[in-house]
Structure 1
Amino acid sequence: MSTAVEAPTVWDIAVDDAPVSLSARGDLVAVAGAEGTVRVLDAAMGAETGSLELPGGSLSVQLAPDAGHLAATGPMGYALWRRTDGRTTVRESGAWSAAAAWADPERVAIASGRRALVLDTDGEELWRTDPAASTVTDLAWMRQGRRLAVAAYGAVHGHERHTPKPVVTYPYVGSHLALAVAPTGRWICSGNQDASIHIWRIRDAGDLTMSGYPEKISRLAFDDSGFWLAADGAPDITVWDFSGKGPEGTAPRSLRCHETITALAWRPGAGGQLASGGDDGTVALWYATAGRAQQRLRPARELTGDGTAVAALAWAGPHLLIAAYRNGRVRAYGVPSRAAL
């Protein structure tokens, strides 16, 4: 049984640009707005500590692992921000820049049109990939930042450092919307426009398609153990078991709360707890790996909002969940211990 409660709010602020993306690292939270305003907040109090403007609007924001830098991407380019002095470097490339991913505190990959650019923290280009068949829609680092996975129509390509041409190709005829790499280094997964999840085993490129979803898959997330993958694509969230030989021949757990899923975020650690957001403004907390395959689970707790859709979720440590709402509210919820969820 789920329990609807008044949200245990730690702080609550309003921003004047509809949020589209969140990132939390260390003691900072970054909030990107649709019109291009990116605010950097103190995670404990919600006070603004920095900001930048990305011309043309923003799509995604990612703080570096040490929270020392930030990368923001948007329809017309990208920007980098430095914490120590607030220096901002803006590149109005005119290329659709869907995503950014940090390899480590010193290197970031940017999706820029049909290429991926790898930059240092000063914005200097270290190397770039050859053009893909279409716009790069997502990217992720593998092998502790030694290989970059780049998703575009028809394939996910793997690039070693300073190698414009891919050293490995994982083909799939379709449009990739989201990319997830297991922390174990065993799997790459893409969520696709054709309402499927495609999976490749990294060691030998063996692949598997999980189809039959009623809607496109635009959100995928592995937990910290790398054994559980959460996906949207239906009113139910599906959670697939990647332990052992992987999900082939198995059924997922189903999590039902929202009519439309708008955000997914695993709680840090390997405890199998997931936060989800919906278009009705509800934030749900789950024991997402409980029960058995094919079982439908209900939330352990629901945090009631004001009816405005959840735009993004991010954990600022194991006990602070940040939720951004499309009306401009950004709230930090105090979440109890795992056993008391």
Structure 2
Amino acid sequence: MPTVAPLDLEGHIVGAHFLGDVPFFTSASGEVHRLDMGHKTAAAHQGLLASIKDEASNTLVTSGEDGKVNRVHADGRVELLAEEPRKWISVIAAGPQGAVAFGVGKEARVRLADGTVKSFTEQRTVEAIAFAPKGLRIAAARYNGVTLHWVMTAGAPIDLDWKGAHNAVTFSPDGRFVVTAMQENALHGWKIDVKPGEEARHMRMTGYPAKIKSMSWSVKGKWLASSGAPAAIVWPFSAKDGPMGKPPLELGTRGNIMATAVSCHPAEEVVAIGFIDGMILLVRFADEKEVVLRRPGKGAITSMAWSKSGKLLAFASEAGDCGVVDIAG
């Protein structure tokens, strides 16, 4: 049976992450909590807006209302990467070779490991940034689409246009697709591995009753799991044209209780699904078998992350009731 080690924190928790086997929890108030031989805390921001794991360096990257972009190391040390006084920075991404990207108004900025910053001006405010899995390339989501930039070369950017507001963006692990979450309760995708001169092909993934706040690729990128419905909606991406013409899996359906966070396992084709009432289910893609990892709690699940071994799952909630599930019990 899975066992839960609870951690009660105050207020809204933005993110749950693992660095090694140490769970980290980032709080909207600006603290970064870690369970490393006891509960330890580091002050990172005057108001924290976003946090992500940088896989390349095994650190966290955080941003906040204080205009700072920080790197938080495994020992809790906080390193300032960039500062934009009087700006709120809520858009960040971590890429290869120590590169970090962030959005400031209509600018997408990439800070390289040596401290050099490259800026790209978009048509509209940058709503989200993602790095491609190979090469220093970014996708910047904005109103009416996404723009792709090569960071180190002067090549012309590629515009992927689709009307509407795009609030999140991700590359597939094999780099063949770019997918955004939209304001209008839908995902939109582009197949970008096309022949020179060919246009990227569109994919519309609609029918969600709520906004999609969480997306997670399965191991090897065969599936893309998403929140925004009373189940995890999981689209197939293994075929040449991705999910075009194919229905999604609906995993962990719970009446009208919305899924708010999804996190695919690092080695198995299973997904952890967090719900608005604090419950967490683990569901296998092949046969839809479910295991309850956590019963309902005080608040909606905001974030989940697996340890590298896939034996531990950290979770965060908007009410501060967080914890770590040991799925082996």
Same fold (TM over 0.5): yes
Matched-pair contact (CA < 8 Å) for 1:179–1:220 = no
- 1:28-177 equivalence runs, <5 A: 28-42=22-36, 45=37, 47-48=39-40, 51-55=42-46, 57-81=47-71, 83=73, 86-89=77-80, 91-104=83-96, 106-120=98-112, 124-130=115-121, 132-162=122-152, 167-177=157-167
1:219 aligned to which of 209, 214, 237: 214
1:208 aligned to which of 199, 203, 206: 203
- 1:221-300 equivalence runs, <5 A: 221-245=216-240, 246-255=242-251, 256-257=253-254, 259-269=257-267, 271-287=268-284, 289-291=285-287, 297=288, 299-300=290-291
Query: Which secondary structure does the structure 2 equivalent of 1:308 belong to?
Result: coil
C-alpha distance in 2 between matches for 1:52 and 1:63: 17
Matched-pair contact (CA < 8 Å) for 2:19–2:59 = no
* Matched AA of 1:168: I
Count how many residue pairs are aligned between Structure 1 and Structure 2. Answer: 318
Matched-pair contact (CA < 8 Å) for 2:233–2:249 = yes
1:301 aligned to which of 292, 300, 303: 292
Q: Deviations over 1:293-330 (max 9, x none)?
A: xxxx4633342143432221111220000011233232
Gaps of 5+ in 2: 195-199
Query: Which secondary structure does the structure 2 equivalent of 1:225 belong to?
Result: helix
Q: 1:301 to 1:17 in 2, by over 3 A?
A: closer
TM-score (structure 1 length as normaliser): 0.84
Matched-pair contact (CA < 8 Å) for 1:181–1:222 = no
CA positional deviation for 1:333: 0.8
* Matched AA of 1:147: R
Query: Which secondary structure does the structure 1 equivalent of 2:33 belong to?
Result: strand
CA positional deviation for 1:75: 4.0
Does residue 315 of structure 1 match 2:306? yes
C-alpha distance in 2 between matches for 1:13 and 1:52: 18
C-alpha distance in 1 between matches for 2:56 and 2:315: 21
Matched-pair contact (CA < 8 Å) for 1:12–1:46 = no
C-alpha distance in 1 between matches for 2:99 and 2:146: 21
Gaps of 5+ in 1: 292-296
